[in-house]
Structure 1
């Protein structure tokens, strides 16, 4: 069961919003709610768990109870890791709204292995498998599934979320790679959402012995990724989440200022709204 000290104000803010184009709410970690001018609401990688202390310890508030979500037309996930596919965070949203869970094969396998359909009022018909090259249309959004580079995941994907003339890239936990250049060549990316963090020492998953850990792109790598997709704005994520792996996003200012892309840096804290 998820408990939040923030009450239901964030889901209500999403439900009550009437954006002129597209509005996004940063949920912390790598999660977003995205609402278009037509009222369609997408959720991507919402994670409301506290991790697995002391190995992974959540450093930010749990911003809402998923049972309070009333507006959701689809819930997209980028890869199979727990902080991206998580039953207690996501199944209540599916149960309360009849939204589909949309993700690659290994992500949907987690939902099936964890018996979401038995534990919550969720049906297997709500699971939609996608792969690179697919386009999913939900209300006023067209979501293109693109290749990304996350060597820590078994089958990661990224999404280019299009609404009218706006395009948002959500790369999951991707690192910089030549595969991202195809995104920059094909799309005019208004906002690039890219995971950013520090290296640190946290307990190994199996032995629980301290181990050097680097899960996310560092300052130079995240800017290289933003350059590859030619993002007008870079919005770094994940820097706020795990004890020992957090980072300072303001440190990115000197890294971006001499490049053509990204043209600007947009730093969002958990709960912030960003408009396109």
Structure 2
């Protein structure tokens, strides 16, 4: 059972919100909640686990207990890594709300086969829905486009373009730069893009536990390369707060972004913060 450092205040904040357009809460790591003006609520990559100490050590609070979530229409996963597909974090949301997990094939395999969501929780098989690049989903007032991503550490990553009459939110998962972003930036009018940012660190190898030079996320130049290609108005750096040894200071990105056409603005947020489209 997951215990939150913050009790249920964040879940209640989301539940009580009545946004004029779209409200987006940052959950730390690469997790987000999107709530539209019609009340439709989407969770993206919510992760409430503690990592695998001493290899991966969580550096931020656990913002809520998933058992407290009683309003959700969908959970999106970008790829199969534990901090993006995690039964104890996500299956209780599906169990409590009847929401559907939308995710690429290897992520669905984790839920079905590795973690047995349908037997460990009251989750039905039809709540686990496979998506792939080019798919379009309709969730309340949201239209969700499944798009390309490039994460060499994942077996099948995707990104999501989440469209609403109030604006468009891009969630890249743990993607690094890819030529596809120029097409995506031309095809969509992206108001806000969330992209993973971090440093290089010495992280114990998963099997040998020996320290290994590790780069999981975009550095300062890569994240601005992504944002410029996507032609996003606002860039929200994510994931920089999560793992000991890979944390970063997102405020330095002002210097890296200054001479580029995009992003127009940086959204520097901390866990629990809300931004609006």
Shorter-chain-normalised TM-score: which range?
Answer: over 0.9
- Within 5 Å, which residues of 2 pair with 1:146-165? 146-165=147-166
Match of 1:239 in 2: 240
Partner of 1:62: 62
Following superposition, the deviation at residue 70 of structure 1 comes to 1.0
Deviation of the 1:180 alpha carbon: 1.2
1:124 equivalent in structure 2: 125
Name the residue aligned to 1:41.
Answer: 41
1:179 to partner: Cα distance: 1.3
Is 1:21 matched with 2:16? no
Q: Tell me by how many angstroms 1:140 deviates.
A: 0.3
RMSD: 0.6
SS at match of 2:119: helix
* Unaligned segments of structure 2, at least 5 residues: none
Structure 1 residue ranges (4+ consecutive) displaced by more than 4 angstroms after TM superposition: none
CA–CA distance in 1 between the matches of 2:56 and 2:180?
A: 30
Which residue matches 1:77?
Answer: 77
Tell me the SS of whatever aligns to 1:109: helix
TM-score normalised to structure 1 length: 0.99
Contact 2:22–2:166 under 8 Å retained in 1: no
User: In the aligned structure 2, how far is the partner of 1:115 from the partner of 1:98?
Assistant: 17
- Deviations along 1:189-227, whole A, 9 cap, x unmatched? 000100000000010001000100000000000000000
Aligned length, in residue pairs: 276
Structure 1 residue aligned with 2:176 = 175
Partner of 2:186: 185
Show the counterpart of 1:90: 90
Task: Give the Å deviation of 1:259.
Answer: 1.1
Q: Secondary structure at the match of 1:253?
A: helix
Q: Residue 139 of structure 1: CA displacement?
A: 0.4
The match for 1:249 is 250
Question: Deviations along 1:219-254, whole A, 9 cap, x unmatched?
Answer: 000000000100100000000000000000011111
Deviation of 1:177 (Å): 1.3
Shift of 1:165: 4.5
Shift of 1:5: 1.7
Deviation at 1:182, TM superposition (A): 1.3
TM-score by length of 2: 0.99
Cα distance in 1 for partners of 2:227, 2:261 equals 10
Cα separation, 1, equivalents of 2:230 and 2:71: 30
Residue aligning to 2:30: 30
Q: Unpaired runs of 5+ in structure 1?
A: none
